[in-house]
Amino acid sequence: MALVSLRWFGALVLLSIFAHRNLIEDWPVLRLHLLFISVMGALGFAGFNGMFYVAAHSTTALNIGIIQGSIPVFVLAGAFMAYRARVTRMQIAGVLLTVLGVVIVASGGDIAHLSSVEFNTGDLLMILACMLYSGYTVGLRNRPAVSALGLFTVLAAAAFVASLPMVAVEAQLGQFQWPTTTGWVVISLVTVFPSFLAQIFFIQGVELIGPNRAGTFVNLVPVFAAIFAVAYLNEAFEVFHAVALGLVLCGIWLSERGKAA
């Protein structure tokens, strides 16, 4: 929970430098939607991060990788239920292909190993986490007509405020851990890249192509994770990595080609 809280505090520091003018200009509109935006930031950012990190203590990386691949499915279902958004057969096929690619990555190329996977508390937490982030993605369709930086500032502020009770609970349980030197480096990297740049790009992406199409790209996360593992951890790049990458890219292409008019 320290990581959850500090990453969003760091994002707010960056936003105070780069987005203060946007926030001032957008505030009259943002104020009218403050409750909606705050709920999205609290659940989609702080809630998702917290459940993800806690889940990793009681389930395997294999399970987490597979379950995270369900986000596009939840996004498609949520967009249909909320907006009656049309889902084409090619989009469904694209989602299935990307999920298959995620499964191959997560299973290390041995899909037969999946038969021995058992669900536990961590798996259920990951499912809930994916539902939260999917709800956030679908909700972005109703974002107020403001700049991405102005909107993100309020989302990040809500995430930070929502993380404070989570930190308090962790401290009360005697499990709070203050970052080491390495921990501060990790927090800095997580703040700049996934907490700041990636979220701004994602918000803008959803605005440009909609939640259905944007949600499919979430399945690139485990593929990039595999690439980074090779580049930074010197892990071997296996044939199944190439197969999985091809499936994910083909799935995204199908979803793009099959989008409703």
Q: How confident is the model at residue 189 (pLDDT cuts 50, 70, 90)?
A: very high
Percent of the chain with pLDDT over 70: 95
Give the span between the Cα atoms of 121 and 96, in whole angstroms.
25
106 pLDDT above the threshold of 80: no
Q: Provide the phi-psi class of 194: left if phi over 0, else alpha when psi is between -120 and 50, else beta.
A: alpha
How far is C-alpha 30 from the geometric centre of its chain's CA atoms?
23
pTM for this model (two decimals): 0.83
Q: How confident is the model at residue 114, as a pLDDT?
A: 66
pLDDT value of residue 119: 63
pLDDT of residue 261: 59
* Joined tokens for residue 51: 């459940």
**Which amino acid makes up residue 122?**
G
User: How does the average pLDDT of the chain come out, rounded?
Assistant: 87
Most confident region among 54-63, 130-139, 239-248, 252-261 by mean pLDDT: 130-139
pLDDT of residue 113: 67
Are 209 and 260 spatial neighbours (Cβ–Cβ below 8 Å)? no
Nearest to 247 by CA among 113, 110, 99, 69: 99
Of 153, 203, 114, residue with least CA distance to 12: 153
Length of the chain: 261
Are the C-beta atoms of 71 and 211 separated by less than 8 Å? no
For residue 65, pLDDT over 80 is answered with: no
Phi and psi at 234, nearest 5°, equal 60, 30
Average pLDDT over every residue of 118-142? 88
Can you tell me the mean pLDDT for 80-85? Answer: 84
pLDDT for position 54:
93
pLDDT category, 12, cuts 50, 70, 90? very high
Q: Summarize pLDDT for 18-55 with one digit per residue, the tens.
A: 999 999 999 999 999 999 999 999 999 999 999 999 99
| Separation of alpha carbons 135 and 128, rounded Å | 10
DSSP 143: -
> Could you tell me the residue ranges of all domains in the chain?
2-166+179-255
List the single range of 88-97, 167-176, 210-219 with lowest mean pLDDT.
210-219
Average pLDDT over residues 64-80: 80
Q: What is the percent of the chain where pLDDT is above 90?
A: 46
**Would you state the pLDDT for residue 222?**
74
